[in-house]
Chain A
Amino acid sequence: MSYTEFLAEYGPRFLDGLQVTAIQFLLAAVLAVMVSLVMGLGKLSSNPALRWPAVAYIEFFRGSSLLVQLFLLFYVLPLFGLTFDKYVTGFLALGLNLGAYGAELVRGGIQAVPRGQWEAAYSLSMSPAKRMWRIILPQALLNMLPPWGNLIIELLKGTALVALIAVPDLMFEARQINGSTFLSAQSFGTALIMYFVFARFIVTPFMRWLERFMTRKLGRA
């Protein structure tokens, strides 16, 4: 079977898989951003009741593997009566895990905002919430966007693990096709190239655009 015939026959299945991967990726990214904001701000809080849970969360999720966390959510939570659909378990584990890494980026980004900005917001007697939302966070966002670009690629790579709990993503389809055709180079190679194209020509350019957009928005272009 030539490679063109292989693509003609199995191409649609790879694309179906890619679609599932893209949806898992987007949902996990949204969750990771929300988790990292909450936990990153929590870790910076002066209130120990907010700080310690955030520290514990970050250390737990950064200290063990994504695969272990995925299996814990998938196999262990149902024993306590919490059963999620496998699709939900997939992006939940990803978002919770990468959110912990993101929280550290949020913390670093906020700490890199010059002190003068905090003082200026104080002297304008802004409320703490307004100060954070209008003054600090936009500048922190600009600081942390470049490392977020790397983290988002890590997130995309992490989505391949949801195949191991039978979510039919790109990785899952590649394994299925490999199992029925035994054409390993073609099936895994095609999937590798699709992940690469997705990362290199969609995700990375989008993050670069976001950096430029935010720079302009803050008048620093």
Chain B
Amino acid sequence: MEWNWEFTWEIMPRMLVATGNTLIAAGLGYSIAIVLGLFLALAQRTPISLLTLIVREFVEFIRSTPLVLQIFFVYYVGPQYGIDLSPWVAGMIAIGLHYSAYLSEVYRGGIESVPVGQWEACRSLSLSTSDTYFRIIIPQALPPSVAGMGNYLVGIFKDTPMLSVIGVAELMHAANAIGGQHYRYLEPYTIVGVIFLLISLPSAGVIRVFETWVRRKLGMI
């Protein structure tokens, strides 16, 4: 089969709109994950050991089951109990929850990397718990977490094609639709692959630069 440039240009506008949707989906999902992940990480540091245990197992469960199955679960289980979720809402909940489990591990690693002396210093200055976390611990936990957080930003972007299974109109969904309409799969799927490479490879580089910037900003280099 020959590559058809005319067809390529014809479908390009649709593919670019879908690329926008992919980026929006990744951004929204990541925003949810970044906030929820912090809660999951902090919940594992409370003195209530039962809560720690439950959150720990929950995180393990999310991390060891397939995202695509979680997307189906969120999308189809709601209506069974009378809650109708649109594909976008269900998709964002599923992907946000999935990555929040990963990000909570990143935060946990970052918080644990803060030296014990910092905690002791906070206690001896009798800082409140929130001051201890927000003014002393989290700023220091951030730089070691940036690399992991960046990797998961690229990761969430690469996982957005799974949202096509419930009909979120992102890149993969557009490629499937175009392929089905024109009986040509070569161009749409190749374009999807190229767009993913064009976005994810440079962003990995940008994240490295950002990581160095954060470290310098906080006076760690």
Query: A interface vs B, CB < 8 Å?
Result: 59-60, 63-69, 71-72, 75-76, 79-80, 153, 156-161, 163-164, 171, 174-175, 178, 182-185, 188-189, 191-192, 195-196, 199-200, 204
Q: Are A153 and B77 in contact (CB under 8 A)?
A: no
Given contacts A63-B197, A195-B64, whether A188 and B165 have CB atoms under 8 Å apart is: no
Residues of B contacting A184 in the complex (Cβ-Cβ under 8 angstroms):
72-73, 76-77, 79-80
Residues of B contacting A185 in the complex (Cβ-Cβ under 8 angstroms):
73, 77, 80-81
Shortest CB–CB separation between residue B7 and chain A, in angstroms? Answer: 13
Q: Are B190 and A76 in contact (CB under 8 A)?
A: yes
In the complex, residue of chain B having the shortest beta-carbon distance to the beta carbon of A163: B68
Q: What secondary structure prevails in chain A residues at the interface with B?
A: helix
The digit string for B54-66, where 1 denotes a CB below 8 A from any CB of A, is: 0000001101111
Q: How far is the CA of A60 from the CA of B192 in the complex (A)?
A: 13
Q: Are A192 and B165 in contact (CB under 8 A)?
A: no
The digit string for B156-183, where 1 denotes a CB below 8 A from any CB of A, is: 0011111011000000100100010000
Q: How far is the CA of A204 from the CA of B190 in the complex (A)?
A: 36
Given contacts A76-B186, A160-B68, A189-B73, whether A68 and B1 have CB atoms under 8 Å apart is: no
Q: Are A63 and B196 in contact (CB under 8 A)?
A: yes
Q: Are B165 and A164 in contact (CB under 8 A)?
A: yes
Q: Are B161 and A192 in contact (CB under 8 A)?
A: no
Q: How far is the CA of A164 from the CA of B73 in the complex (A)?
A: 16
Q: How far is the CA of A65 from the CA of B81 in the complex (A)?
A: 33
Q: Are A68 and B161 in contact (CB under 8 A)?
A: yes
State whether the Cβ of B119 lies closer than 8 Å to any Cβ in chain A: no
Q: Other CB < 8 Å A-B pairs besides A76-B189, A164-B68, 12 of them? A: A68-B192, A72-B189, A76-B186, A79-B1, A156-B64, A171-B68, A185-B80, A188-B73, A192-B61, A195-B66, A199-B65, A204-B64
In the complex, residue of chain B having the shortest beta-carbon distance to the beta carbon of A203: B64
Q: Are B189 and A199 in contact (CB under 8 A)?
A: no
Q: How far is the CA of A185 from the CA of B79 in the complex (A)?
A: 10
Shortest CB–CB separation between residue A100 and chain B, in angstroms? Answer: 12
Residues of A contacting B79 in the complex (Cβ-Cβ under 8 angstroms):
184
State whether the Cβ of B67 lies closer than 8 Å to any Cβ in chain A: yes
17 contacts between A and B (CB under 8 A): A59-B201, A60-B197, A66-B158, A75-B179, A75-B186, A76-B190, A156-B64, A156-B66, A164-B165, A171-B66, A174-B72, A184-B72, A185-B77, A191-B69, A192-B61, A195-B64, A195-B69
Shortest CB–CB separation between residue A76 and chain B, in angstroms? Answer: 5
Shortest CB–CB separation between residue B3 and chain A, in angstroms? Answer: 10
Shortest CB–CB separation between residue B117 and chain A, in angstroms? Answer: 28
Residues of A contacting B193 in the complex (Cβ-Cβ under 8 angstroms):
64, 68-69, 72
In the complex, residue of chain A having the shortest beta-carbon distance to the beta carbon of B66: A160
State whether the Cβ of B70 lies closer than 8 Å to any Cβ in chain A: yes
Shortest CB–CB separation between residue B156 and chain A, in angstroms? Answer: 11
Given contacts A59-B201, A160-B68, whether A200 and B60 have CB atoms under 8 Å apart is: yes
Q: Are B77 and A160 in contact (CB under 8 A)?
A: no
Question: A75 touches which one: B67, B162, B189 (CB < 8 A)?
Answer: B189
